[in-house]
Amino acid sequence: MKRALITGITGQDGSYLAELLLSKGYEVHGLIRRSSTFNTARIEHLYVDPHEPSAKLFLHYGDLSDGARLVTLLSKIVPDEVYNLAAQSHVRVSFDEPEHTGNTTGVGAIRLLEAVRMTGLNCRFYQASSSEMFGATPPPQNEDTPFYPRSPYGAAKVYAYWITRNYREAYGLHAVNGILFNHESPRRGETFVTRKITRAVARIKAGTQDVLYMGNLDAIRDWGYAPEYVEGMWRMLQADEPDDFVLATGGNYSVKDFLQFSFERADLEWERYVKFDERYLRPTEVDALIGDASKAEQKLGWKPTIQTPDLARIMVDADIEALTHEGGKWIDRPALSDWA
Ligand code: NDP
Ligand code: GDR
């Protein structure tokens, strides 16, 4: 039985990856942060009491800012595969918290790599790199495109990318970078633009929200479906040779297009509800990200099937369903998506 450690297991991708690895018979270990409230909503359906013999998912408290803890955990777990998905992952928030973002999203990667090296583990390592590293370099972007990050988040990811390559070259570690373009799902954090939109559609349809405040509607993104992307992560670590891969759909849609697809699904006109608020602008914006994932298709046989218009429909349906089922409790929650 293979054993994997996932940092960021409580996040969108971590939850889908844990699901995938459990379905493949892995024993899965996840790093979780201690918090005064539970932060495990996305993985609760996978949890089995660890006293049960059937338990295959184990959670451990830890933080990417605590290198000693990472060493202790790795020597205890002895994983075959390590997936580093943990990060302060919000681009606009990284302008508010640049030092924290650098510490977690950038230096966090070297803490984990160094913990792997110090413990002498013979494991494979996946680094969650990002299309944000391309930043201002025009599309289409692939593995050979120069980086030009436009945020503290993008710059931190560039550092993590190069340090992952360095550990591969310097120490022969089987370490890979997955350069993933935006991928979304009903489990997407509520302050990212797609989920902010689909959640607002559900609330507007239910009559509990009148206005959706947004920033730059002209940004172009290549939005795919998260469950398909975690399959790509796993495939990268199964390849014989460590290498870096772009995962993307190649789609070319603006935020306005996403608004259109989402509101249309609920028979609403987005122009009637969306208002501009400059607080959602970034000091430096990434205008257009459109990925070319032909290397992943050729070498890993990875090809996404869900394009952005279908993705918007999946997310709107899920948010309407959640609103219907969770009823008053959900409606009464403050619109936390207003924060970013
Ligand atoms: P999320 O924001 O949903 O999840 C981030 C995870 O990291 C959460 O589990 C969070 O824990 C954890 N985390 C944050 N800070 C720390 C820390 N200091 N120590 C330990 N854990 C921490 O991100 P996604 O699932 O969307 O993305 C996964 C990874 O992929 C991230 O690194 C992201 O930057 C990267 N990425 C994402 C893309 C996307 O489109 N989704 C595209 C390209 C890259 P908690 O739940 O406690 O907050
Ligand atoms: P991004 O995702 O910055 O691409 O990073 P986000 O959904 O936050 O923004 C996408 C685009 O939408 C514009 N936008 C808004 N964004 C937010 N969040 N809120 C708004 O109100 C709003 N209005 C317009 C943004 O300006 C931007 O152009 C995501 C994250 O998951 C990163 O971790 C990951 O690395 C990259 O995708 C690839």
189 lines ligand 2 (CB under 6 A): no
- Nearest residue CA, atom 5 of ligand 2? 91
Domain ranges of the chain: 3-184+224-247, 193-221+252-289+307-339
Tokens in use for 206? 């239910």
The crossing angle, in degrees rounded to 10, of helices 308-332 and 255-265 is 70
Query: What's the fold here for domain 193-221+252-289+307-339?
Result: UDP-galactose 4-epimerase; domain 1 (3.90.25)
pTM over 0.90: yes
299 lines ligand 2 (CB under 6 A): no
For the CA of 63, the nearest ligand = 1
CA 23 to chain centre: 20
- Rounded to whole angstroms, the Cα distance separating 277 from 92 reads 14
Q: Is 130 a catalytic residue?
A: yes
94 lines ligand 1 (CB under 6 A): no
- Rounded to whole angstroms, the Cα distance separating 29 from 3 reads 8
Contact predicate 31/73, CB 8 Å: yes
Q: Is 153 a catalytic residue?
A: yes
Query: What's the fold here for domain 3-184+224-247?
Result: Rossmann fold (3.40.50)
DSSP result, 123-165: -EEEEEEEGGGTTTSPSSB-TTSPP---SHHHHHHHHHHHHHH
DSSP result, 243-288: --EEE-----EEHHHHHHHHHHHTT--GGGTEEE-GGG--SS---B
Mean pLDDT for all residues in the chain: 96
39 lines ligand 1 (CB under 6 A): yes
Categorize the per-residue pLDDT at 134 as very low, low, confident or very high, splitting at 50, 70 and 90: very high
Categorize the per-residue pLDDT at 230 as very low, low, confident or very high, splitting at 50, 70 and 90: very high
Domains 3-184+224-247 and 193-221+252-289+307-339 share a fold: no
- Nearest residue CA, atom 28 of ligand 1? 85
pLDDT for the residue 48: 93
Q: What are the residues whose beta carbons fall under 8 Å from the beta carbon of 268, sequence distance 6 or more? A: 201, 204, 205
338 has a pLDDT exceeding 90: no
For the CA of 93, the nearest ligand = 2
For the CA of 108, the nearest ligand = 1
Of ligand 1's atoms, which has the minimum distance to the CA of residue 35? 47
24 has a pLDDT exceeding 90: yes
* Complex confidence, ipTM: 0.99
Q: Using a pLDDT cut of 70, give the percent of the chain over it.
A: 96
13 lines ligand 2 (CB under 6 A): no
pLDDT for the residue 261: 98
pLDDT for the residue 330: 46
- Rounded to whole angstroms, the Cα distance separating 234 from 16 reads 11
Mean pLDDT of all residues in 41-70: 96
106 lines ligand 1 (CB under 6 A): no
Q: Is 54 a catalytic residue?
A: no
- Nearest residue CA, atom 35 of ligand 2? 130
**3-class DSSP state for residue 203?**
helix
